[in-house]
Amino acid sequence: MIEVNNISFKYAGGKNLVFDDFSLELKQDNIYGLLGKNGTGKSTLLYLIAGLLRPKKGTVSFDGIETKLRRPETLQDIFIVPEEFDLPAMSLDEYVKINRPFYPLFSTTVLEGCLKDFELTTDLKLNALSMGQKKKVFMAFALATNTRVLLMDEPTNGLDIPSKSQFRKVVTQYMTGDRTLIISTHQVHDVESLLDHILILSPQKLLLNASVADIQEKFTFEYRTPAEMDDVLYAEPSLQGNAVIAPRKEDSAETQVNLELLFNAVNEGKI
């Protein structure tokens, strides 16, 4: 559904390429976690997919149409929630009235449900909200658009602990099966229970492109004592013992992916 083909990109005045001959295919009905150290191009990739940036070489396409063309029929099916944004000095009702006509599948029911889960009302003045409230309102609107592609850059930054739980609830409830969500984040523990697929970027290339199911099939994530380390691929000390990644044995139960541990192991070349 989304095809990134052999793209090269660098910012004006930048010395180094952010991407060089980079390719990626993203399929429908997945929630992707896009991870990487600072400066590896996570936000840039989202903006390229949304058509807000244009590759110097190569193509970024959605359903066969290059996103850089910014055709209305493409843009009405892609919505991006950037890490930082401003909302206009108007009421939420006014904002919805102005913007909803562009999105043919917009759902007032979804908007009201998200706001309720976020413990917010519809009679809001957007310029009177805290940053955390603005983020929740904008994410509620994003989910209500029902676009087939939803991009979120650091969505849990600025949210308190209860709000992060609310975020997971609304995503689980309102991301229908025919949509694709890409979450770029450093806050891996906030989203690891949501993800179907993991992408880990390093400068100009992908270090990991794997489904959560495949990762769980190949590896086990657990805590072990120093005497149980023979087959360990990667380990970090913790209060509970050594947090480890090891090959999964045929008769062993599936374990939940420890995304922070996986990220560190991949970046150190252990997996």
CATH code, domain carrying 35:
3.40.50.300
Q: Is residue 208 part of a domain?
A: no
Q: Are residues 195 and 259 in the same domain?
A: no
Number of domains in the chain: 2
Q: Are residues 230 and 122 in the same domain?
A: no
Bridge partners of 197? 32, 211
What φ, ψ does residue 149 adopt, rounded to 5°?
-125, 125
* pLDDT for the residue numbered 240: 84
* pLDDT for the residue numbered 115: 95
* pLDDT for the residue numbered 117: 94
* pLDDT for the residue numbered 203: 84
Q: Are residues 199 and 217 in the same domain?
A: no
The pLDDT tens digits along the chain (271 residues) read 899 999 999 998 888 899 999 999 999 889 999 999 998 999 999 999 999 999 999 999 999 999 999 999 999 999 999 998 999 999 999 999 999 999 999 999 999 999 999 999 888 999 899 989 999 999 999 999 999 999 999 999 989 999 999 999 999 999 877 899 999 999 898 999 999 999 999 987 899 999 999 999 999 999 999 999 999 999 999 888 899 999 999 889 999 999 999 999 999 999 9
Q: Is residue 242 part of a domain?
A: yes
CB count, 10 Å around CB of 93? 11
Q: Are residues 149 and 117 in the same domain?
A: yes
Q: Are residues 220 and 186 in the same domain?
A: no
Looking at 203, 229, 259, which one is the last position of a domain? 203
Looking at 148, 170, 203, which one is the last position of a domain? 203
Q: Are residues 176 and 48 in the same domain?
A: yes
Place of tokens 């413990």: 119
Name the token pair of 21.
């001959």
* pLDDT for the residue numbered 138: 95
* pLDDT for the residue numbered 168: 94
Q: Are residues 142 and 238 in the same domain?
A: no
Domain span at residue 37 reads 2-203
Looking at 203, 229, 256, which one is the last position of a domain? 203
Q: Are residues 61 and 189 in the same domain?
A: yes
- The helix (H) or strand (E) run that includes residue 81 is strand 78-81
Q: Are residues 221 and 180 in the same domain?
A: no
Name the token pair of 42.
């996570």
* pLDDT for the residue numbered 121: 87
Q: Are residues 256 and 147 in the same domain?
A: no
Q: Is 48 exposed, middle or buried (0-12, 13-18, 19+ CB in 10 A)?
A: buried
